[in-house]
Every structure is written in structure tokens, then in C-alpha cells.
Structure 1
Amino acid sequence: MIQDKHRLARWKFPGGFSSPEEDIPDTAMREVLEETGIHTEFKGVLAFRQQHKVPSAFGRSDIYVVTRLKPLTFDINICTTELTNAAWTPVDELTTTNEHTHLTVRMAQLIQHGFLEGFEKVDISMHELPSVYKNTTYKLFHRPLSSSST
């Protein structure tokens, strides 16, 4: 979890804007690395939020994608220009205090559900498929298909 210098003082998940033509997994991994120094591997999309009239969204509607990443390194080295703090936080703690946003609490509940029931019941996975445009592909995000239809 991080504490952003320029936003709410509450603890939140790392995140930020995508660069032009950057895929969702790459954005998530880059943002975590830039903010915390932690290298990660993309596992899936937990959820996404759509919100309108966000002051920092440059007059656009905002779609915020929450991904599930596997840490590959564990030592935190925060970006001091963006953050005041960062820390590993037990998931159970995210649902039992008032220090977190509604989004953070709901994501923690999804993570707990994934731990209990398996992330295949929670994650939205990414699949790269051939495009109708010559020599190109696209990323399609969806829940897993049953094993008989893959």
C-alpha cells in the first residue's frame, strides 16, 4: 500500500495513468515499480471502476483497472517525489480499519475470496488474439472459459 503526497492521505494501492499504446498489465507493473521499486508479474484483472467528473481526469471519464500482480522482489524503495510512504499490508487489515477507501476495502474482499475459493473465480484474464487488421493482435480480457471450451 502507498500514501500519495498529492492526494488523499489514506493508504491506497499503487497506480497511475497509462502511457500511449501501453497495455494494462504493463501499466500496472510499471507503476508499481516506479512507486515502490518492486518488480512484479501480471496475473489478472480483479475489477475495474468507471467514474465521471473526476477533477484530475482532464475532462474525461475515468476507468481505473485493478490488477492482481505477483511480487518478484520484496524490498520497498519509494519514489519520494510521489509518495510519503509505502508498506506491505496484510489483506485482512484492509477490511478491518477505517483508513481505507471503499474501493480498497472491496478489492481486499475480492483478494480474500480469491485466497479462499481460488483466483480463477475472481480474475479476469488477458488473451491475445489475431486482429482483423493485417499483422496485428489485440488483448481481450474475460473470465476463464470452462476447460471443455478452451
Structure 2
Amino acid sequence: MNSLEINASGNFESWSPSKIRELKENKISNDLGQNLLFENENLRIWEVVLLPNERLPFRKINMDYSWVSLTTGMAISRYADGKILLMRIEKGDSAFLSCKEKTYIYDLENKGDDILFFHLTEFKHQTIKKYLPADVRLKSKKPSNN
């Protein structure tokens, strides 16, 4: 995945009033995706399918998760601090995101001409850490520069 910051943190001038209102009214989901495919005491597996111009509303992320893209496309993501990222996503792109005891709020909107399709694995209560030796560090897959 390649990303480009198109709006800096702290700057809400380019934001639509409806997105600002959505944040102010605290209309924020705790669901990582649209469809919960599986859940047990350790993890949840989510599916996200976005048609062109469709948007996954703001969601509150406070647990580590990994994702994999099953399609190629373009998206933007707005963060609660004002930052906006434009992303070029390739089929097979994946990453592990660690919250490190913090909470992040952001949305995801398909800005391409094709469907975006993701699978996400959310690690409940940071349970993944108890299964790993202390010296193991999880890293995201680095995109190639081809």
C-alpha cells in the first residue's frame, strides 16, 4: 500500500460539515468492519466490502489488528485529528497495526472505480501478546517499490 497525506493533522478546513458533525455527535462505531465473520475469546474476524464511493463510517480502534486486501483500489481515510490519507491499495497488501494502549478514530471511503474487499483480524484484549515470546516484534509487510 502506498499512502499520501493530503490533509495535515489539526486542519479541518477541507472537511465536509457532515463529517465534522458525525465526530462531534460521537456517531462512532466500535465495529472494525461491516460483517463479523467469526468471534471467539481471543479474536474477531471482520469483512469490509466497499462499492465505489461507499464509506465505512468512523470507528473507534483500540485493539491490535491485521488486515489483508483482496482487491486493488483507491481509498481515503479521515482521522479524528484532521489528518486525511489517500491510499493506493494493491491486492495482497497487508499490515499489522498495534494500538499500543491508545485509541484511534478514522473512517474509510472507496475513491476508486472498483470494489474494495478486506479481511481484518482484531485481537481482543491484546491477547496476541500472551502467545508471543517477549523478544518477538510484529512488523507490517513492506510494500515493494515496483
Give the shorter-chain TM-score range.
under 0.3
Larger Cα-atom Rg: 1
More strand by share: 2
**TM-score where L is the length of structure 2:** 0.24
More helix by share: 1
**TM-score where L is the length of structure 1:** 0.24
The answer to which structure, 1 or 2, has the higher relative contact order (CA under 8 A, 6+ apart) is 2
